[in-house]
Amino acid sequence: MFEFKKSPDFRENFKRVFSERCVEKYSRDPKDLDYHELYDVLGTMVRDYANVLGKKCKEEVKENNNKQLIYFSMEFLIGRLLSTNLFNLNVLEDVSAALKEMGIDYDVLKEKEPDAGLGNGGLGRLAACFLDSIASLSLPGHGNCIRYEYGFFHQKIRDGKQMEFPDTWLQEGFPWEIRKPNDSVIVRFYGNPETYRDPVTGEVRWRTTNAYCVRAVPYDVPVIGYDNEVVNTLRLWYAEPCEETLPSSTDFNGYLKFIRDITHGLYPDDSTEEGKLLRLRQQYFLVSSGIQYAVRREKELYGTLNHLYDHYVFQLNDTHPIMSIPELMRILMDENGYGWDDAYRIVSRCFAFTNHTVMPEALEKWPCRYIASVAPRVYMIIEEINRRTLQKMRDDKIDERAIQNSLVISDGNVNMCQLAIHVAYSVNGVANLHTEILKAQTFKDLYAYYPQKFTNKTNGISHRRFLLVANPSLSHYLEDLIGPSFIKDPSKLQNLMPLADDKHIDVYRKLNEIKRSNKLRALSLIKESSGLEVDPDSIFDTQIKRLHAYKRQLLNLFHIIHLYLKLKSSPTASIYPHTYIFGAKAAPSYIYAKKIIELILAVSRTIEADEHVRKYIKVVFLENYDVSKAEVIIPASDISEQISLAGKEASGTSNMKFMMNGAVTLGTLDGANVEISNFVGEDNAVIFGMREEEVKAIKFNGTYNPFDIYNSDPQIKAVMDSLLDGTFSSDHEQFRMIFDEIMYRNDEFMVLKDLESYLQGCKKIETDYLNRDKWGRECLVNIACSGWFSSDRTIAEYNRDIWHLKKIH
């Protein structure tokens, strides 16, 4: 085992051990291996050293009887691990230099690592950033997720449309994981709950018979903290056949398919009942696996579960893991003999819940019959929680209307958020505006009943990955300006603010120079991903996030169409060159989102075919956008598009990544944009559009009609008509769905209502950009204020207010 520690002879020792490991695994010298094999050897070397450190951390937690965190999330969008792990071990530059001396290009080697197929959007990226910060703050906290064989999907653009293919991220192996069969547990689906009399106590107990039994086997991935010898674990559960007897009616091949489906892919298509049931089975598989293992460990160490809450806190990242609450109740009562009151006392002190949405349609509800089928005993416990909370609220003389809004079960559905809020000891939103909406609107009655449970924890990002590793030219320059203290304490970026006094023109120009160098670095990725060649001196205007109507990629696109029509109307017209960059995946069953991607691609093709317009506008769609592409595009971007309808985005985190890399926000006052604009001030961000209270009032009064704008504004009418008049497709009906959604379904996310304000905001931010020294100062202010948006700050707040974990050494 090679120790990745700085020392005078580090490089020589590394080269020797690396060569030995190449021979031991592949029977060849490094010079005879391809880069995939070289990556595999280096990854396993780092993993083995991390596991040694991880053992010491686990032993310390055990010896001191310390509490640890289990962070349940259906996704962890971890991206590539090699560079971040080497950076956190403080040896990235040394390893790169040593490999160079061996004739190996580290930049080529690192590209052989695939992005792990464990996530899709902001929820998973947030979870990954949190794990990085938990370890870097020396806290004992571990992730629990599913080991998805084929990820979400691999996006390919074919004939101007998104096509979905399997994400074969495990095809070449995943050197970071270790299979732990001794830690496996059995998860039981379906079956028949029945009572029996306990032969020892004589009490009536419950058990489930005739169940589908699945073996859950964990694969552990080390999570390395920065420069502190702390290593935690991301545990990935994988479904395998179980040796227990199958139900008599079960076909063996059907059983194997049942198992394969559980860990086949992230977020299966839920447009069918079977797809919905599969999602539910995945959720239950994850939480049952993780809870069972925690309970088993607790019993082995302490012989009792009476004080489980002193040793574990379970953080539920959004609604997907909420079934862990009744599952722990089931395990305590059915398998360990606890009565309801004692079990509930334990459970209600173990769980904390993070809500990530305010949109009612996104608040997870499951038909009662689904849960009653997949996990029948769990459903019985949910029914009892509902009955008891209903009775307690009535005993407390709560208004009946408020009680009906707070029910765990209503209209034949289980309301997962209500379940979590009633039982968990903490409920948090993820940005100030989001949390206030939860308290005032979404969960108004539950907040009135449990005000002490609700807190805000504004999201954050890993500055190590998205600044220090992804943008070394910028981070090195910042180190020259203010020293290295911000590496461990990102709040020290605030020390840049004295330079924002209009006297440091050289600093602003250097920041502009670094931005241009990052644009040059991004050109090859843009060419490879979209086929387009772009001008590095153009404005890089970027919107990269999951494709959803509320995120309003259409608003961005309508502005581009407006510019296109303006340039087409006058052959002598010109604008400053812009490169508009989109990166997004649309869920396979989300037809409207996929149609928006079609329109983006059609607009791009149309512009590229026009010799005049393409001199001024490029529209780039990054195929199969992922974390690795983000690490290239974000440092190269000038403008950060954060344009969701006010009150719809819980937080957003791409806004923070752009800000930290010196991009200026063009956005609505939604999510964490509110905090960003407060920090940087109105001169260093461009805010447009309606405020949340205006949106709420218009919706309530029903005063918005998109036809009023369509008929009164010729420019907007021209944009909408271009969807149907053959401007972007010879098939005039191809984009009818988008036209109808805006015009005839009352423009749910008020794209046209905000469009004029957005067009003005686009003009203002372009004007700011063209004053290059002023723009450099704006970039500096954004970077200086970004330290507060590090996930280190977020995690410190979680631990101070919710988890109360003690640091490892």
Task: Point out the residues that are catalytic.
Answer: 356, 545-546, 551, 653, 657
Instruction: Answer yes or no: are the C-beta atoms of 503 and 808 closer than 8 Å.
Output: no
Query: Which of 138, 83, 60 has its CA nearest to residue 795?
Result: 138
d(CA 172, CA 215): 25
d(CA 95, CA 38): 13
Q: How far is CA 589 from CA 124, 155, 271, 711, in A?
A: 20, 14, 6, 33
Backbone angles phi, psi at 563, to 5 degrees: -65, -40
Strand partners, 544: 583
d(CA 518, CA 533): 15
Three-state DSSP state, 121 = coil
Neighbours of 371 (CB within 10 A): 24
Q: How far is CA 455 from CA 192, 226, 282, 425, 430, in A?
A: 40, 28, 29, 11, 9
| Residue 129 parent element (H or E) | helix 122-136
d(CA 2, CA 18): 9
Query: Which of 433, 414, 323 has its CA nearest to residue 674?
Result: 433
d(CA 310, CA 329): 17
Which segments of 44-119 are extended strands (E)?
A: 68-72
What is the maximum alpha-carbon separation in the chain?
92
Query: Which of 325, 297, 332 has its CA nearest to residue 311?
Result: 297
Helix segments in 408-504, DSSP class H: 416-423, 432-437, 444-449, 463, 472-482, 485-488
Query: Which of 731, 590, 618, 734 has its CA nearest to residue 162?
Result: 590
| Residue 219 parent element (H or E) | strand 212-224
Backbone angles phi, psi at 578, to 5 degrees: -125, 140
Contacts of 417 (CB under 8 A, 6+ apart): 319, 322, 353, 355, 363, 364, 443
Structure tokens at 639: 């403008």
Q: Where on the phi/psi map is residue 392: left (φ > 0), alpha (ψ -120 to 50), or beta?
A: alpha
Half-sphere exposure of 571 (CA within 13 A, CB side): 1
Find the radius of gyration of the CA atoms of the chain: 27
| Residue 544 parent element (H or E) | strand 539-544
Query: Which of 672, 683, 670 has its CA nearest to residue 786?
Result: 672
Burial of 498 (0-12, 13-18, 19+ CB in 10 A): exposed
